[in-house]
Chains A and B, each alone.
Chain A
Amino acid sequence: MFKKRPGRLIPFIVIVIIYAGFGFWVYSNYITSQISSEAGAILLKWGSRGSEVREVQTRLKNWGFYKGTVDGIYGWRTANAVKAFQKKHGLKADGIVGNATAKALGIRTGTASARGGTSRDNEAYTLAQCVHGEARGEPYIGQVAVAAVILNRVDDPRFPKTIAGVIYQPGAFTAVTDGQMFQPPGSSALKAAKDALNGWDPSGGALYYYNPAKTTNKWIWSRPIIKVIGKHYFCK
């Protein structure tokens, strides 16, 4: 039968290929979602800004890969430097700082610092996770301020009385509701959480914050604004 009319099998094969293609599409979607959430700890690419970019630039500059200024902005110079670095270290030269590249650069990924043991360390870690989910990409001070808002809530009678209570209050933080929080925090979020726990409060005692470009909640707009840091408005 195969020898006689091989052409007859073609529609059948086509259908199998279509199914296989569909299956592969679903699978690859799943894989990429896995990868991006894994790499969520540090994923810097063209257009990223902030202290983590600065860290990458400083290191690349020290090793002679990067010639530009350390400005915390991931532009083409940074991308090229990252590519050069990746080539030299046998990594995929895509110009994106994911987990593997970050490790090669010697930048601490969040998971490494989850150790410790005292409850204060664990508190700092949870706080950092929330900060990372809510404010990665914001300037460092903005990250400290977000952590400070959480701590200000703990001290306010209108909110739950523990850090975990405030963070997990239903609907309180978008990053908690949509699960973005459950990633290892970056080093800058961890540092910010510790600074806030040590008492620094750049928010000026704020209890709420919002990104005016993303919020349609009328109630929050009516709150008196205390401070503007990065993209966030902090208010009472």
Chain B
Amino acid sequence: MKLFNMQLDRKQYHKVAVVLAAALILAGFFGYNTYTEKKQYQTFLQNSYQRSFRELVTNVENIKLLLEKAEVSASPQQSSALMSQTWMQSYSAAENLGQLPITHVSLSKTEKYLNQVGDYSYSLSRNGARNKNMTEKDMDQISKLRAYAGELLGELHKMEEDVARGEIRFGEIRKKGRLALRRASKDAVEVSFGNIEDKFSEYPSLIYDGPFSDNVIEGKPKGLDGEDVSLEKAKEKAKKFVGEDKAGRIIETSSGKGKIHTYGLEVSPKDKEKGNPINIDITKKGGYVLWMLNPRDIPEKKLTDQQASDKAKKFLKEQGFGDLTETYFLKNDNTTTITFIGVTKDGVLIYPDLLKVKVALDNGEIVGFDAYQYLMSHRKRDIPKPKLTEEEARKKVSPRIKVERVKLAIIPMPGNKEQLCYEFKGKYNNFDYFVYINAEDGSEENILRIIKDENGTLTQ
């Protein structure tokens, strides 16, 4: 190598040195900048974690205090006010907890506790607003919840001290970087929360009228009857559902062991060149279709809303679904998803019996079907006679709403319950509303606002 044997003279040494020095200074500058920037981000993160944590402590303090007050309150109005404050505090506590950099495993029970306190106090505040006093059972559950709030607060105060003394820092997980992502790291904060979780191990299951009540979470399907079916039988059902002419090979891909046990099947199209495999889940018990999805590409829109709705109705009839009525629809990607609900011979709407059918707008093929809610709730119902007349119920509706139509309907209520109501459809301020008046005691159970645009109808 001739190149490296070459001698540099003084002047050139000089030049090289200058270039190297400049590069070094630049690199140093760059490094320092990056370092300070990183420090700033760290402090920022640290501060926002601190804020969430401190707010969490305050929220839990308030929850404990409010529950203590609720235990000695005797009037429904006062308990209602206390309970709605508890609801707000626990909601915000759960929010703050969710922002801490701690793996879900070490705080799922705390989160559940906070959400249930919120949900439960909301249902109690509704009771209070109806002038109902708290029952003995409610009082009992409140003192249990208060005791847990005390335990939680004790641990949080201990942590707060450690944080103040600088022994615990949030975001140590972040520092460890990627490793922590793969392995649940055990840093000080995690350990402290682990302690809290242990205290919650004997946390009782709460039963009340709310969506997070334990009996709702563990609800069983009511619409499944019949014997368990074999895989062969399930495949037959799937073939019939998709259409004998379209279905090719059917294979079992994955069996489901969720709330409803299923055979997960994949139906290949007969003509391999055309179309995608279709996924379909058949329930083990009774062999009902739980859901079906055909993710094929739908390039264009040819059908009108009316045609799509006719196709869906015809399909449901062919599949042996009896009395159903169309409620709302939603369009996207050249499909329309139509929601059907049950209806009795006398025209009473049954909202819990809900089915969804997705129609492709190019040729009217059914590309999706979902019967989860239908199978969870459908059964033979004895529909009681309404105690209120339509006229009496109408008086309970806000005078601002111009009523256009009245129907009887069974609506789902918190806590897996159902209630017979008068459904008033009306207009106010150019918006459509549904108002539900309890047909037994006349209380206003729910108000829905309807959003309509060219892509469908939604209720809020």
Annotate B293-307 by CB proximity to A: 1 below 8 A, 0 otherwise.
101010000000000
Number of chain B residues close to chain A: CB under 8 A: 71
Q: Complex: how many Å from CA A157 to CA B109?
A: 9
> Which residues of B in the span 150-179 have a Cβ within 8 Å of any Cβ on A?
173, 178
> Which residues of A in the span 203-223 have a Cβ within 8 Å of any Cβ on B?
203-206, 215-217, 219
Q: B105: which A residues are within 8 A, CB to CB?
A: 219
Annotate B309-337 by CB proximity to A: 1 below 8 A, 0 otherwise.
00000000000000000000010110001
Question: Smallest CB–CB gap between A165 and chain B, Å?
Answer: 6
A158-B111, A165-B98 are contacts. A224–B257 as well, Cβ < 8 Å?
Answer: yes
Q: B255: which A residues are within 8 A, CB to CB?
A: 227
> Which residues of A in the span 172-186 have a Cβ within 8 Å of any Cβ on B?
172, 174, 177-178
Q: Complex: how many Å from CA A69 to CA B275?
A: 11
Pairwise interchain contact A156-B15, C-beta atoms closer than 8 A: no
Is the CB of B102 closer than 8 A to any CB of chain A?
Answer: yes
Pairwise interchain contact A225-B257, C-beta atoms closer than 8 A: yes
Is the CB of B23 closer than 8 A to any CB of chain A?
Answer: yes
Question: Smallest CB–CB gap between A111 and chain B, Å?
Answer: 16
Q: Complex: how many Å from CA A165 to CA B92?
A: 12
| Count of chain A to chain B residue pairs whose CB atoms are closer than 8 Å in the complex | 160
Contact of B256 among A118, A157, A226 (CB under 8 A): A226
- CB closest chain-A residue, reference B174: A170
Is the CB of B344 closer than 8 A to any CB of chain A?
Answer: no
Pairwise interchain contact B293-A144, C-beta atoms closer than 8 A: yes
- CB closest chain-B residue, reference A62: B299
Q: A134: which B residues are within 8 A, CB to CB?
A: none
Contact of A156 among B109, B180, B217, B373 (CB under 8 A): B217
Is the CB of A29 closer than 8 A to any CB of chain B?
Answer: no
Question: Smallest CB–CB gap between A221 and chain B, Å?
Answer: 12
Pairwise interchain contact B182-A217, C-beta atoms closer than 8 A: yes
Is the CB of B104 closer than 8 A to any CB of chain A?
Answer: yes
Interface size class of A (residues with CB under 8 A): 35 or more
Q: Complex: how many Å from CA A215 to CA B182?
A: 7
Q: Complex: how many Å from CA A34 to CA B29?
A: 24
Q: Complex: how many Å from CA A107 to CA B260?
A: 37
Contact of A227 among B19, B256, B330 (CB under 8 A): B256
Instruction: Kindly list 17 other residue pairs between chains A and B, CB separation below 8 angstroms, not including A202-B279, A226-B256.
Output: A8-B9, A12-B16, A15-B16, A54-B276, A120-B458, A144-B293, A158-B108, A161-B91, A169-B99, A171-B180, A174-B181, A198-B370, A201-B291, A202-B281, A205-B259, A219-B105, A227-B258
Contacts A/B (CB < 8 Å), 30 sampled: A8-B7, A11-B3, A12-B15, A19-B19, A51-B276, A54-B276, A54-B297, A118-B451, A157-B212, A158-B111, A160-B111, A161-B91, A165-B95, A169-B98, A169-B99, A170-B100, A171-B101, A171-B173, A188-B295, A191-B295, A198-B330, A202-B279, A205-B258, A205-B259, A217-B182, A227-B254, A227-B255, A227-B258, A227-B264, A228-B254
